[in-house]
Chains A and B, each alone.
Chain A
Amino acid sequence: AQSVTQPDIHITVSEGASLELRCNYSYGATPYLFWYVQSPGQGLQLLLKYFSGDTLVQGIKGFEAEFKRSQSSFNLRKPSVHWSDAAEYFCAVAPMNYGQNFVFGPGTRLSVLP
């Protein structure tokens, strides 16, 4: 069965530091890949997505992610974190060409120190 793992439950970084959130997936074939962010009391906002092509994708708010097929990973990065980035981050996968039943990881909570 397909699954998504996010090994880090909670990460704390200082404002201005770089960030990397890890995501690994288990799937029969390369799925479509997504990163979402959820602020307290809010719904999910799409940060970026990978369908095909260049394995380094750029998203909103200065985020980027790199798809590595050999490692079944899709890690999210940001070179300099801002206090407003504190939130819950979810990695998600969806099967190619077979509907949009997204499978989400358990999430990583990001705290930012001033």
Chain B
Amino acid sequence: DAGVTQSPTHLIKTRGQQVTLRCSPKSGHDTVSWYQQALGQGPQFIFQYYEEEERQRGNFPDRFSGHQFPNYSSELNVNALLLGDSALYLCASSSGDNPYEQYFGPGTRLTVT
């Protein structure tokens, strides 16, 4: 049983560019949450998707957007990249039956130069 997978593993972008990160949830899970983890800090909640809709959102600007597909996979898009967007981006999945048991993927390391 595959766990949560994320792609790519690493990514280097230039300021002002746009980036798309991808996440496939654990089998049987229908909810996907995204977190940003800056170096030396704990993860910060970006948003959560359920039934292809953004259900909750943390304190992040509109440059951060997402999407969930019918197969429950999800994308995180970040526009107009800033140096401060450099971080590890974590995806977590959960199910409606057990929404607080989140399984995390290994993350995508984004570096903005």
Contact = CB atoms under 8 A, between A and B. Distances in A.
Contacts of A71: none
Contacts of B40: 106-107
Given A90-B43, A101-B48, A105-B42, A43 B104 contact: yes
Interface string A26-66: 00000010101000011111100101000000000000000
Interface in B94-113: 94, 99-107
A32 B100 CA distance: 8
A102 interface: yes
Interface string A71-114: 00000000000000000001010100001111111110000000
A100 B42 contact: no
Interface residues of B, number: 26
A46 B102 contact: yes
A34 B35 CA distance: 16
A73 to B, nearest CB: 17
B33 interface: yes
Contact of B41 (A45, A46, A99, A107): A107
Nearest to B55: A99
A106 B41 contact: yes
Nearest to A109: B40
Interface of B: 4, 31, 33, 35, 40-45, 48, 55-56, 58, 90, 92, 94, 99-107
